[in-house]
Amino acid sequence: MGTSTGITTRGRLALRAAKAAAWASQKAGRGKGSMIGGLIALKIDPTLMKQLGHGRRTVLVTGTNGKSTTTRMTAAALATLDDVATQPDGANMDAGIVSTLASNLTAPLAAIEVDELHTPHVADALDPQAIVLLNLSRDQLDRVGEINMIERKLRAGLQRHPDAVIVANCDDVLVTSAAYDNPNVVWVAAGAGWANDSVSCPRSGEPIVRDGDHWYSSGSDFARPQPHWWVDDENLYGPDGLVLPMKLTLPGRANRGNAAQAVAAAVALGADPAEAVAAASIVEEVAGRYSTVQVGPHSVRMLLAKNPAGWQEALSMIDPTVDGLVIAVNGQVPDGEDLSWLWDVRFEHFDGVQVVASGERGTDLGVRLTYAGVEHTLVPDPLRAIASCPPGRVEVLANYTAFRDLNTALAKGSAHA
């Protein structure tokens, strides 16, 4: 089946221009060129995303945290059915999505990560068979804005796609609200370690009452739906009494929830549940996250966190027996320049771990750690911060640009080694 047969003459011109721009960008040493290629293609033909999606069975994955990981797991699970187009690098806005689809014109399936703000119009263009909603919480306030506004926009966008299967995390109040009115929802109890952004009902404004795993709005009949899929520390449970052992390569409770939603989405498109679990279970790193690299006498494991909910989850993955912990924070535009959210994260549980504050905003982080009673040193350069730790295992927890720049520095170091 060739998706390329649905592309217009103008669309083909746009694809040729994108290829040339990407080639020029690579020759100039400015990266892979996928973003510039996508941007140029959309300038030439703004309808190109719709054309590239035509004839494909597509799953969109969105939410504040876990998009890249869940997309990778979904792509792995879908690959048990057929060839899958998916982002290698998490480029989740229009240009990156167009570039991804253009790079594999014949794949009949697609697993596409989408920024929350872009999901409604991307869904309109790609007409997905399934949309995975992971979670919604405060992200970069200076870019994304108020979280209830995001929920309302998502809710309106989903209602334009009544035929799509919505794979929604029923443990997340805002996600549940976004999906609640759709006729075709698969509810997954994927967990919600962060509840600070859903203390009131997004529909009525009344308080959300929590009772164990269950929650409900005190002012309406809006409540946690009964899940079709759920996980514990050993198994994935599904419809009709399905029980599948699930042992993931990736760490953390949140990734078990991510895997459950990835499997549910693949099953909605016809994958065998056991094969989908097996495929998702062997995903071991996502764009450098969770990878372990040797840096001199240090074995360094890299963790990425971008907002309060993500930081809280990543902190729970830190091994308390490590020889050092480097926490690196920048405040560039992609990170969000407002770092006041650091005060919402619980840093208090690092007794006995040697902690180093690092990054361009390491001083801000140091103040927060001091108030949390966490003994630490301040070494602004992350590579030097790693070097300052005792030999052995070091965990590095970094926000977006700090993570990106450290990965680049490590790659250059290994190239020179």
Q: What is the pLDDT of residue 196?
A: 64
pLDDT at 307 over 80: no
Across residues 203-222, what is the average pLDDT? 89
Rg (CA), the chain: 22
Q: What is the pLDDT of residue 414?
A: 53
267 three-class SS: helix
What is the separation of C-alpha 154 from the centre of its chain, rounded to a whole number of angstroms? 17
pLDDT at 360 over 70: yes
Q: Give Dmax (Cα) for the chain.
A: 64
Q: What is the pLDDT of residue 197?
A: 66
Q: What is the pLDDT of residue 327?
A: 92
Across residues 56-72, what is the average pLDDT? 93
Q: What is the pLDDT of residue 311?
A: 84
Q: What is the pLDDT of residue 157?
A: 97
Per the DSSP assignment, residues forming a β-bridge with 358 are 328
pLDDT at 245 over 90: yes
Percent of the chain residues past pLDDT 90, beyond the cut: 52
* Per-chain mean pLDDT for the chain: 87
Percent of the chain residues past pLDDT 70, beyond the cut: 91
Q: How confident is the model at residue 194 (pLDDT cuts 50, 70, 90)?
A: low
252 three-class SS: coil
Q: What is the pLDDT of residue 165?
A: 98
Residue 152 CB: number of other CB atoms within 10 A? 16
The domain ranges of the chain are: 53-281, 292-416
CATH 3.40.1190.10 fits 53-281, yes or no: yes
pLDDT at 234 over 90: yes
Lowest mean pLDDT among 65-74, 195-204, 323-332: 195-204
Nearest alpha carbon to residue 333 among 200, 144, 191, 163: 144
Q: What is the pLDDT of residue 142?
A: 43
pLDDT at 1 over 70: no
Sign of CA dihedral 104, 107, 113, 119: positive
Lowest mean pLDDT among 116-125, 180-189, 279-288, 360-369: 279-288
Q: Distance (Å, rounded) from C-alpha 57 to C-alpha 68?
A: 19
Identity at 56, one-letter amino acid code: R
pLDDT at 223 over 80: yes
pLDDT at 113 over 90: yes
Q: How confident is the model at residue 146 (pLDDT cuts 50, 70, 90)?
A: confident
Q: What is the pLDDT of residue 274?
A: 97
pLDDT per position as a tens digit, 375-400: 999 999 999 999 999 999 998 988 88
Q: Distance (Å, rounded) from C-alpha 171 to C-alpha 202?
A: 14
**The 392-398 sheet, strands edge to edge:** 292-295, 298-304, 392-398, 324-328, 355-358, 376-378
Domain 292-416 fold is Protein-Tyrosine Phosphatase; Chain A (3.90.190)
pLDDT at 178 over 90: yes
Whole-angstrom distance between the N-terminal and C-terminal Cα of the chain? 46
pLDDT per position as a tens digit, 275-301: 999 999 998 867 666 778 888 899 888
pLDDT at 358 over 60: yes
Q: What is the pLDDT of residue 288?
A: 62
Sign of CA dihedral 396, 398, 401, 402: negative
16 compared with 267, residue with greater pLDDT: 267
Nearest alpha carbon to residue 171 among 151, 192, 195: 192
Most confident of 268-272, 336-340, 348-352: 268-272
Q: Distance (Å, rounded) from C-alpha 106 to C-alpha 329?
A: 41
Across residues 202-227, what is the average pLDDT? 90
Q: How confident is the model at residue 105 (pLDDT cuts 50, 70, 90)?
A: very high
Q: Are 196 and 237 in contact (CB under 8 A)?
A: no
